[in-house]
Amino acid sequence: MFWRRSRKFLFVLEPKRKERTRARRPLARVRTAALVAAGLMVVIWSVGYERTKLKRRQAAVDIMRLRELAGAFVSERGACPEGLDELLAAEGPAEALDPWGRKYELVCPGKRTPPDSDVFSAGPDRTLFTQDDVRIE
């Protein structure tokens, strides 16, 4: 604190003014940059997660469609198709690829659902018989 002369009063007590140090500004900028980077990482992760969910949903819809086609094939011809290619050849020229670019797998008659056929996708890791395979029970 110091005394200074004023026009109205003889002396006025005022606090000393401290000069701002610039050392705190870089830390604030680093903190802000870290928060922005963390926010961007969360956004990028959530977009990737949603894309995976959408691909799994699309695979489930395709699997249901292929199971219906296999059921119609069995009811028309009385026998299971040899593979997915024979099933799709009966419907017209089409290739059934899952959202990850691999062919769907067809097992007829199904092991999980014996009267029907089992159709499944290898999932995001593109390896069959792992935890992330897409199946419809």
Does the N-terminal peptide bond of residue 81 adopt cis geometry, omega within 30 degrees of 0? no
| Torsion sign (Cα): 95, 97, 99, 105 | positive
pLDDT confidence of residue 16: 67
Query: Are 80 and 86 within 8 A, CB to CB?
Result: no
Give the phi and the psi of residue 131 in degrees, each rounded to 5: -65, -30
Q: Domains in the chain, ordered, with CATH?
A: 57-135 (3.30.700.10)
pLDDT confidence of residue 1: 47
Mean residue pLDDT of the chain comes to 79
Beta bridge partners of 11: 5
What is d(CA 134, CA 83) in angstroms, rounded to the nearest whole number? 18
> Scanning the structure block, which residue is given the tokens 């028309």?
76
Decide if pLDDT at 10 tops 70: no
Beta bridge partners of 70: none
Query: Are 107 and 129 within 8 A, CB to CB?
Result: no
* Each residue's pLDDT tens digit, 19-62: 665 555 667 888 889 999 999 999 999 998 898 899 989 988 98
What is d(CA 92, CA 86) in angstroms, rounded to the nearest whole number? 10
Q: Which of 63, 69, 61, 71 is nearest to 105 (CA)?
A: 63
pLDDT confidence of residue 3: 52
Cα torsion at 46, 100, 130, 86 (round to 10°)?
A: 150
* Each residue's pLDDT tens digit, 67-119: 888 888 888 888 888 888 888 887 765 677 888 888 888 888 777 666 777 88
Query: Which has more confidence, 5 or 16?
Result: 16
Decide if pLDDT at 7 tops 80: no
